[in-house]
């Protein structure tokens, strides 16, 4: 089907192909979702190199990560070359839908943006409960991280991972390289493990995490990515990585309520709870200073 999405015509293919077999959700449904929410999503992708997680045959088929822009991309696709690798930058709806039409279910933008790819302007606490720990325990840990950030006058913004986990984004000025940010986050996570040993863990061996919430800081590295806010996830019921308010975190919320059929109404009612992530950068210097002055102060 040849359609004009915005400024450019492009061929959308296999719209009736079923991507989620149990729910009978098609590739066309996926494209419609991204069309419906693009005005909220695009600011979070702007100026960021993108990695596509592609499922050409749906969630039960094989998948792969597309890091570089394919050579068959139209000339109008926005691209950036970093270390001799040409990557896609999704700055408009035409580019977004072109990517989704390739079977891209998940969108993975970098945590840094152009023109400063070596310096992150977002850092992320990635929380993942290991059974029998559940989502409710993840919410409890998130609130403790909120208090820790507030001690340095910093704000964090939580979103569901799309599964049982939670991501807390902290927007920062691009002042420090990834190596420093990762080291600071590592020490913050060590502090949390020492303070709440029965609740959280940094164990790399999954079997040793049982019943605790895993604190993952390792994705805060150059060229590493996280599933974007509002990205669909390739699991049962087509869940969406959804921003939460801290009131919802405190009260409790069911992460299964957020999928491609429910998010648009939530956005219409609440707006983009994640907008401060790209609007309000913060100074991370207080935590960096503590690291270099005396790690024991964490």
Domains within the chain, CATH numbers bracketed: 16-117+225-242+256-268 (3.90.920.10), 122-222+279-297 (3.30.70.3300)
Average pLDDT taken over every residue of the chain = 95
Angstrom distance (rounded) from CA 200 to CA 129: 9
The Cβ of residue 88 has, within 10 Å, a number of other Cβ atoms equal to 26
Angstrom distance (rounded) from CA 47 to CA 91: 7
Give the model's confidence band at 190: pLDDT under 50 very low, under 70 low, under 90 confident, else very high: very high
Q: b/e string for 147-180 if b means 16 or more Cβ within 10 A?
A: ebbeeeebebbbbbbbbbbbbbbbbbebbbebeb
Contact 111, 225 (CB under 8 A): yes
Q: What is the pLDDT of residue 144?
A: 96
Residue 297 pLDDT greater than 50, yes or no: no
Contact 230, 242 (CB under 8 A): yes
Digit-coded pLDDT (tens) for 251-272: 999 999 999 999 999 999 999 9
Q: Which residues contact 57 (CB under 8 A, 6 or more apart)?
A: 17, 103
Q: What is the pLDDT of residue 289?
A: 87
Residue 44 pLDDT greater than 60, yes or no: yes
User: What one-character-per-residue DSSP string does 121-165 give?
Assistant: SEEEEEEEE-TT--HHHHHHHHHHHHHHHHTTT---EEEE-SSS-
Q: What is the pLDDT of residue 87?
A: 98
pTM here is: 0.95
Angstrom distance (rounded) from CA 210 to CA 294: 32
Mean predicted confidence (pLDDT) in 135-144: 96
Digit-coded pLDDT (tens) for 52-84: 999 999 999 999 999 999 999 999 999 999 999
């Amino acid at each position: 089907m040849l359609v004009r999405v915005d400024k450019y015509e492009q061929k959308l293919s296999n719209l009736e192909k079923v991507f989620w077999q149990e729910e009978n959700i098609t590739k066309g449904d996926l494209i419609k979702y991204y069309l419906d929410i693009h005005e909220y999503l695009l600011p979070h992708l702007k100026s960021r190199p993108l990695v596509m997680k592609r499922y050409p045959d749906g969630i039960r088929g094989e998948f792969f990560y597309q890091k570089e822009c394919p050579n068959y991309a139209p000339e109008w696709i926005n691209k950036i070359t970093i270390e001799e690798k040409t990557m896609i930058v999704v700055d408009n709806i035409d580019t977004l839908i072109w990517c989704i039409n390739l079977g891209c279910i998940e969108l993975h933008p970098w945590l840094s943006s152009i023109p400063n790819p070596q310096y992150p302007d977002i850092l992320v606490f990635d929380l993942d409960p290991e059974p029998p720990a559940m989502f409710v325990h993840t919410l409890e840990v998130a609130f403790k991280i909120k208090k820790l950030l507030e001690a340095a006058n910093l704000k964090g913004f939580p979103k569901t991972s799309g599964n049982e986990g939670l991501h807390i984004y902290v927007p920062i000025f691009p002042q420090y390289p990834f190596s420093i940010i990762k080291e600071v986050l590592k020490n913050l996570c060590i502090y949390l493990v020492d303070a709440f040993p029965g609740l959280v863990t940094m164990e790399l061996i999954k079997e040793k995490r049982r019943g605790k919430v895993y604190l993952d800081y390792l994705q805060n590295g150059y060229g590493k990515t996280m599933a974007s806010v509002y990205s669909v996830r390739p699991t049962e019921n087509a869940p969406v990585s959804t921003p939460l308010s801290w009131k919802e975190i405190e009260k409790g919320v069911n992460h299964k309520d957020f999928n491609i059929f429910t998010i648009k109404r939530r956005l219409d009612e609440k707006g983009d709870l994640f907008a401060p992530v790209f609007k309000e950068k913060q100074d991370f210097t207080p935590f960096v200073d503590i690291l270099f002055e005396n790690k024991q102060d964490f």
